[in-house]
Each structure stands twice: as structure tokens, then as C-alpha cells.
Amino acid sequence: MRGRTPHNPMTDNDPHFDLSGRVAVITGGARGIGLAISERFARSGASVAVVDRDSAACDAAVETLAGLGAKAIACSIDVTKEEEVAEMTQRVVDELGGYHVLVCSAGIVGRNAFAWETSAEEWREVLDINLTGVWLCNKHALGVMREADYGRIVNIASIAGKEGNPKLGPYSASKAGVIGMTKSLAKEVADTGIRIHSVAPAVIHTPMLDQVNQETIDYMVSKIPVGRTGTPDEVAALVHYLSSSEASFTTGACFDISGGRATY
């Protein structure tokens, strides 16, 4: 993949957007974008619940966060199962003492295939994880946040949800759904202290790219004026602001982080 590696100005003692005293839940938090967010939040003072289907990866992430001085717990669940999401939500409140921030980063790309080559089972798997799972986590987080009259939710969407990527129909549809759902939920709680946003990255250099063939990656990068993939740390920086108390007069927006691909 072409392009330059960006300089990362963040240090272990970054003072901006302090999250001390906040409890954050990061789905997909054991790798890629989710792990970068988990680490950044830990450095900013948050207690973190790492949510991921991979229990070994969850445990490893929590060990990393503990090394950064953060209180953290591992929650290995399936976000498509409402009873598991409900149990995780209660566990976070009981063990970490609250629930102030939710970042939904868990997701899959699915198989690269034309619509006529895609099975209904493949369609449902991507939609279940990428959209229904996000909705369930938002639903149960809002139950706690509404009682406290405070919360921040950031749902990771994708530029594919705005423009549609060929041979990634289920993925594109799921991410479009995340953007629309986020706008709807944000309006439902706009008169409270809860703010909800989505973030739409272009292609980011994470392990998820292992699910995508090189032809598709080259196509996506070719549409990015900056000329490279993004990094998990760059996405984490944007999510950090949106998860802070400073993000108070914006809600329901979809923030692009696309290297100039999105210009609207």
C-alpha cells in the first residue's frame, strides 16, 4: 500500500480531553481501531471495558491497559445476543462504577463478492454484527446513561456507508444503517446530556484488511487524495474528542476521517 506513515503527536501524557473518572466500553476493543481507542482512553484516565468475541485477545488488551495504569476488565461476548449485551452492561456498572462512554467498533467486512454470488446467510452475518450488534449496545447503554443524564456514544461506520463499495454490498449497507440509526437515536435524546455520533473512516490499516483482497484495497486507496490508508491512532484521536465532555453542542453528526475522499 502506497503513501507515507504519519507522525503521531500524541504522548503517553497527553493532557487533552481528560477522561478521568469516566467509564468507557469499547466493542471490538481488543485489536485494530478499537484497541487504539482503548489505549488512548486509558492514557486519558478512563476505566475501560474491552469487549470482544476473542477472549484471549480481550485478556491481552486488558493487560496492556493495566500497564498504562488504567483499571480495565475483559468482556468476551457476542454483541448480536441481547442477553449477553445486557449482562455486560450490568457488569460494567457493577465492577467499574458507571457507564459514561460507549464506542462501537466491533465489525466484520464479510466476503468480497458480487450480489449474485452472496448468500442470504453471508448477508445476515454482516448485518447482525455490524448493525444489530451496534443497536443492541446503544440500546442498553442508553438505559444507564438516561438515568445519569450524561453519556457519549460513538458508532464506527465507514465511508462505504455513504458511497458504497463494489463487491461489499452487505458491509456498505450495514454501515449506512449505522449512520442512519445514529442520527435517529441522537434526536431521541438530544434534550438530555447524551451525545451520539458516528465516524466514517476510509480504509484504515488494521488487521481487518486481512479480510479484503488487494484489488479492493487498491481501489479504495486510489480514491483517497492523501494517497494512503489511515491509521488506528488517527481515528482514535477523533473518537477521543467526541467521547469527551467538550463535545457538547454537536450530536447526530457523521464525522468523516477519509484523507479527503469525502468532501460533503
3-state class (DSSP) for residue 206: coil
CATH 3.40.50.720 applies to domain 23-257: yes
3-state class (DSSP) for residue 13: coil
Tell me: the pLDDT tens digits for 209-244?
776 778 878 887 888 899 888 899 999 999 999 999
Region of residue 253 (phi > 0: left; psi between -120 and 50: alpha; otherwise: beta): beta
Tell me: the pLDDT tens digits for 25-77?
999 999 999 999 999 999 999 999 999 999 999 999 999 999 999 999 999 99
Kindly report the pTM of this predicted structure: 0.90
Residue 171 is among the residues annotated as catalytic for this protein: yes
d(CA 38, CA 53): 16
Instruction: Provide the CB-side half-sphere exposure for 123 (13 A, CA).
Output: 9
Q: Is the dihedral of CA 261, 198, 36, 166 positive or negative?
A: negative
d(CA 254, CA 196): 10
From 99, 150, 171, 219, the catalytic residue: 171
d(CA 5, CA 204): 12
d(CA 244, CA 100): 10
Could you tell me the CA-to-CA distances from 210 to 51, 54, 57, 148, 234 in Å, in that order? 21, 17, 17, 40, 20
**pLDDT above 80: residue 5:** no
Tell me: the pLDDT tens digits for 78-137?
999 999 999 999 999 999 999 999 999 999 999 999 999 999 999 999 999 999 999 999
Instruction: Provide the CB-side half-sphere exposure for 257 (13 A, CA).
Output: 21
